[in-house]
Structure formats: C-alpha cells, structure tokens
C-alpha cells in the first residue's frame, strides 16, 4: 500500500452516550505506511475514536470509510481481515491456551471447511517468537501475568497480518524490555507499509516512531499534523509543562516538574 493511498477516513463523526457528547465534528484520513500517535487528557475521546474507526462502536452521525467503502456496511470478518484492534483492557473469561488464542486470531483468513493452512501455522509461530511466547503456548491465559497477557494480545495482532492496526495503550502493564519489543514490532509494521494508530500517554517509546501527531481535547481535534513539539500547544492540551531533550538524533518528551 502506498503512503498516499487512503485506508481509513472519518468524516464529521459525532458520538455520544445519551446526552453526554464524547466526540464532535471529527474528520481525519489515514494512509498506508503511516504511524499516528493519538494523545490527549483522560476522557478526551481517544479510545472512542479508535472504536469508531475499528467498527467496534457505530457513530451517531458522520461516516467512516475503509478503502472507500462505508465501514458499517461491511461484515465483521471482512473488517477484521483489514483492521486489527487492541483494546485498552480485555477480560479473558475462558481457560484458553495461549496457542489456541493465537490461532483464533487467524479466524478472518480461515476457510472453516479445512484445517489451518501453512500460512496460519507460519503466522502464529512468527508471532509467538516475536513476543518470546514459545514457552507459554501450552499455558492458560488465565494463569499468566497481566504483562504476559498483554504480550499475548499483541502477538495475536501480529498473527492477524492486517493492513491497519489500532492500538489503545499497547504499553500498559509492560516492563521496559517488553515495551521495547512492542516498539520494535510497531517499527517493523511501519516499514512493511502498514497503517498504525496508537493511543498512548507513553511518549518515551513511541514519540520517535510517529510520523504524525493527533491531539484531542474535550472531544475535538486540536492538532493534526507532523509530529513535533509545540510547548504552548502541549500546555493547552494537557495543562502541564513539557520539555524536550534531544540526544543522538532522538527526541525525549518529558513533563517538566
């Protein structure tokens, strides 16, 4: 997919829970080989935007297009072939083995009249290796730690092999080494020409990966453009003082206390 080719497009989105407006007048377009960091204060509407773009929620007004087609007119399996979504929190109600969960992630691509294909087996093996899960494959998801569960979820996304990845706080509950693994995984996806949208407050690992920054406050986009630090803008959005440190061609964004 070329960088100029649009994969996801939102036009004048509006969403509310009852009388409480969550998002209003949201319009944005996302293309191939693009890493978009979505940030803003708690309750700004970031997670809701990801759910609308992934078809998890349906907007009250406006349109979401996936490769030029209305998202709400596509079936779930077709959407899941193209979009992989990681929620901020996820419950595991069943004693599902890690191996089975990873194979389940391949369901949009499967022919249910046949067994798993060589492509399915290869995708699961590569995903397990990428997130150091080979020793966990025969363990129940309910018997491993929260950080390990998060790695399983991310490995499921890797096994999906979609075109667009929507990740809500992917670094939650991860130690620094695991967080670095995730950052390298996202960098690999970007180099493969995938579209990556990440909601996160963790600027340390993700800031330098992002091409584009989308800031949301009070349900509205206040900045959508090239990833760069604008001190006054960050104060306006987060009500906190930030500063940037540059070292070895890398930028590190921290709260100035």
What is the predicted pLDDT for the residue at 252? 84
Q: Please, what is the average pLDDT of the chain?
A: 91
- The better pLDDT of the pair 179, 212 is held by 212
What is the predicted pLDDT for the residue at 112? 66
What is the predicted pLDDT for the residue at 14? 97
**Closest by CA position to 45, among listed 65, 66, 17:** 17
- The better pLDDT of the pair 50, 111 is held by 50
Q: Read off the pLDDT band of 230 (50, 70, 90).
A: very high
Indicate the DSSP class of residue 115: -
3-class secondary structure for 202-254? CHHHHCCCCCEEEEEECCEEEEEEECCCCHHHHHHHHCCCEEEEEECCEEEEE
What is the predicted pLDDT for the residue at 166? 97
Angstrom distances, CA of residue 36 to CA of 29, 94, 147, 225:
11, 33, 24, 9
Mean pLDDT in residue range 134-141? 95
Indicate the DSSP class of residue 71: G
Helix (H) or strand (E) holding 50: helix 46-53
Q: Read off the pLDDT band of 4 (50, 70, 90).
A: low
CA atoms within 13 A on the CB side of 163: 17
In this model, does residue 1 exceed pLDDT 60?
A: no
Q: What is the sign, positive or negative, of the torsion defined by CA atoms of 152, 158, 163, 167?
A: positive
What is the chain's Cα-based Rg? 18
What is the predicted pLDDT for the residue at 95? 83
Helix (H) or strand (E) holding 130: helix 118-130
Domains and CATH numbers, the chain: 6-255 (3.40.50.300)
**Closest by CA position to 199, among listed 37, 19, 3:** 37
What is the predicted pLDDT for the residue at 236? 94
- For residues 104 and 110, give the distance between their C-alpha atoms in angstroms, rounded to a whole number: 9
Structure tokens at 152: 């399983």
Q: What is the largest CA-CA distance in the chain?
A: 60
**Closest by CA position to 24, among listed 219, 186, 193:** 219
**Closest by CA position to 63, among listed 10, 8, 115, 140:** 10
Report pLDDT digits (tens) over 140-184: 999 998 889 989 999 999 999 999 999 999 998 888 888 888 888
Contact 161, 150 (CB under 8 A): no
Q: Read off the pLDDT band of 3 (50, 70, 90).
A: low
Its pTM surpasses 0.85: yes
Percentage of the residues of the chain whose pLDDT score is greater than 90:
67
Report pLDDT digits (tens) over 85-120: 999 888 776 788 999 999 999 988 877 667 788 999
In this model, does residue 49 exceed pLDDT 90?
A: yes
């Amino acid at each position: 997919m070329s960088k100029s080719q649009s994969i996801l497009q939102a036009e004048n989105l509006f969403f509310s829970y009852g009388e409480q407006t969550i998002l209003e007048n949201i319009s944005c377009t996302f293309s191939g080989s693009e890493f978009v960091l979505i940030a803003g204060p708690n309750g700004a509407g970031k997670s809701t935007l990801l759910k609308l773009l992934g078809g998890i929620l349906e907007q009250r007004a406006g349109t979401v297009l996936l490769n030029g087609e209305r998202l709400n007119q596509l079936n779930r399996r077709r959407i899941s072939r193209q979009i992989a979504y990681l929620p901020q929190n996820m419950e595991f109600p069943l004693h599902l083995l890690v191996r089975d969960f990873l194979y389940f992630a391949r369901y949009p691509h499967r022919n249910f009249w046949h067994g798993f294909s060589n492509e399915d087996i290869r995708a699961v093996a590569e995903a397990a290796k990428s997130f150091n899960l080979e020793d966990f494959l025969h363990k129940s998801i309910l018997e491993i730690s929260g950080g390990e569960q998060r790695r399983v979820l991310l490995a499921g996304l890797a096994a999906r092999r979609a075109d667009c990845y929507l990740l809500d706080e992917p670094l939650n509950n991860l130690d620094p080494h695991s967080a670095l693994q995730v950052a390298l995984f996202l960098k690999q996806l970007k180099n493969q020409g995938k579209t990556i949208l990440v909601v996160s407050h963790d600027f340390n690992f993700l800031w330098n990966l992002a091409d584009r920054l989308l800031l949301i406050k009070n349900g509205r986009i206040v900045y959508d453009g090239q990833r760069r630090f604008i001190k006054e803008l960050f104060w306006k959005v987060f009500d906190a003082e930030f500063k940037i440190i540059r070292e070895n061609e890398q930028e590190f964004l921290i709260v100035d206390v």
